Amino acid sequence: MYSSKITGLGYYVPENVVTNNDLTTFMETSDEWIQERTGIKERRWIDPKTDDTTATMGAKAAKIAIERAGLTKNDIDFIVFATLSPDMYFPGGGVQIQDLLEMPTIGALDVRNQCSGFIYALSVADQFIKTGMYKNILVIGSENHSGALDKSTRGRNVSVIFGDGAGAAILSRCAEEGKGILSSHLHSEGKHAKELVLEGPATQRWVPEIIENNDDSDLSYYPYMNGQFVFKHAVSRFSEAIIEALQANNLQKEDIDMLIPHQANLRIAQYIQKKFNLSDKQVFNNIMKYGNTTAASVIIALTEAWEQGKIKDNDLVILAAFGSGFTWGSVILRW
């Protein structure tokens, strides 16, 4: 069996900065409420006048990651693309990346696991490398939330949290023993699917039905979140995923050099930090600048942490996420 290692990282966020105060111009909210409950100061929302979409942002992040890996687009054997906000109902974003980057006719797989999307995507890529089937895989997480949020006061508990952006990693076959991905751990609990959900348009809630109803109180085409319920599950599932990753590799919490939690809410990350007795140096957060970018959040944070020199050779790094589904999981790596 081979092992896999991240050899290139990149991210892209739209230029348009939306501060908490900007939000107060179209909904009843406040900078104080948002910062106190979530830690978010600002987020990026796509300016519709630009060419930014889920796919184009993913392609921009991918180009950076491929270059940093010292590869060209022709060296990539496979694409795994994670998003909950694709440009189209079908096909998924993976094939758009193949086209935008003018890549050969390699396979492109889409992953639909919301906030855990990047963890799932990385884990899938790891399996393909382990078996020897592929050598270099492009793994992308990209989200355009701003196109589908209820930006009125009615949707404020959801819309203030989410931001747009993309991140990409190149996962490559690794020759060094004990380096790269040590293990990945994936979970789901579908009975809570409707606690964090966007129901329509979909086959059970199709566009003509929504239009025919013409009912302003029909919110099924906006994301719904039972915030406190999700929060409670998030803190316990995050912890479980981290413990599982450590135990699987006979490691202790003291061995963690860097924890990159999905950027759901700064309060969740701080709770986890305290629970595992980690210092500020051992946990990386950037939700303050970007909000929650769902499948892009872990990979944007990992890239920024690496760019800032916070991840060094041989460091033990844990990526962990929890979100809609519910789905959650972790990936543990020796850098």
- For residue 116, the minimal CB distance to ligand UT7 (Å) is 9
What is the rounded distance in angstroms from the CA atom of residue 6 to the CA atom of residue 137?
Answer: 10
Read off the tokens for 172. 């490559």
Q: Which CB contacts under 8 angstroms, 24+ apart, belong to 95-100? A: 96/55, 96/58, 96/59, 97/55, 97/58, 97/59, 97/62, 97/138, 97/140, 100/55, 100/56, 100/59
| Residue 230 near ligand UT7 by CB under 6 A | yes
String of b and e for 238-267 (b: at least 16 CB within 10 Å)? bbbbbebbbeeeebeeeebbbbbbbbbbbb
Helix/strand number for the chain, H first, E second: 11, 13
Residue located via tokens 């009615």: 154
Please state whether the peptide bond connecting residue 326 to the residue before it is cis, i.e. omega within 30 degrees of 0. yes
Lay out the site mask for ligand UT7 across 263-282 (x = CB under 6 A, - = otherwise): -xx--x--------------
Contact residue for ligand UT7 among 204, 217, 228, 279 (CB under 6 A): 228
Contact residue for ligand UT7 among 24, 157, 220, 239 (CB under 6 A): 157
DSSP-assigned letter for residue 190 = G
| Residue 323 near ligand UT7 by CB under 6 A | yes
- For residue 326, the minimal CB distance to ligand UT7 (Å) is 9
Count of chain residues binding ligand UT7 (CB under 6 A): 20
> Restricting to residues 86-125, which ones interact with ligand UT7 according to CB under 6 A?
115
The answer to whether 192 is a known catalytic residue is: no
Q: Which of 20, 185, 262, 286 is catalytic?
A: 262
Q: Which of 323, 302, 69 is nearest to 195 (CA)?
A: 323
Q: Do residues 225 and 192 make contact, with C-beta atoms less than 8 angstroms apart?
A: no
Please state, as a whole number, how many other Cβ atoms lie within 10 Å of the Cβ of residue 2: 17
Nearer to ligand UT7, 33 or 221 (CB): 33
Q: Which of 241, 259, 6, 243 is nearest to 125 (CA)?
A: 6
User: Per CB under 6 A, which region of 1-9, 78-86, 225-233, 298-306 contacts ligand UT7?
Assistant: 225-233
| Residue 231 near ligand UT7 by CB under 6 A | yes
CA-to-CA dists, residue 139 to 127, 166, 288, angstroms = 13, 11, 25
User: Per CB under 6 A, which region of 43-51, 224-232, 239-247, 305-313 contacts ligand UT7?
Assistant: 224-232
Contact residue for ligand UT7 among 22, 31, 33, 201 (CB under 6 A): 33
Contact residue for ligand UT7 among 2, 16, 22, 29 (CB under 6 A): 29
| Residue 224 near ligand UT7 by CB under 6 A | no
| Residue 242 near ligand UT7 by CB under 6 A | no
What is the rounded distance in angstroms from the CA atom of residue 6 to the CA atom of residue 111?
Answer: 19
The answer to whether 262 is a known catalytic residue is: yes
The answer to whether 174 is a known catalytic residue is: no
| Residue 37 near ligand UT7 by CB under 6 A | yes
Residues with Cβ < 8 Å from 123, sequence gap 6 or more? 184, 186, 329, 331
Q: Which residue is nearest to ligand UT7 (CB)?
A: 227
| Residue 156 near ligand UT7 by CB under 6 A | yes
Please state, as a whole number, how many other Cβ atoms lie within 10 Å of the Cβ of residue 15: 9
Contact residue for ligand UT7 among 160, 168, 170, 296 (CB under 6 A): 160
| Residue 25 near ligand UT7 by CB under 6 A | no
Give catalytic residue positions.
115, 262, 292
Residue ranges that bind ligand UT7, judged by CB under 6 A: 29, 33-34, 37-38, 115, 156-157, 160-161, 227-228, 230-231, 234, 264-265, 268, 292, 323
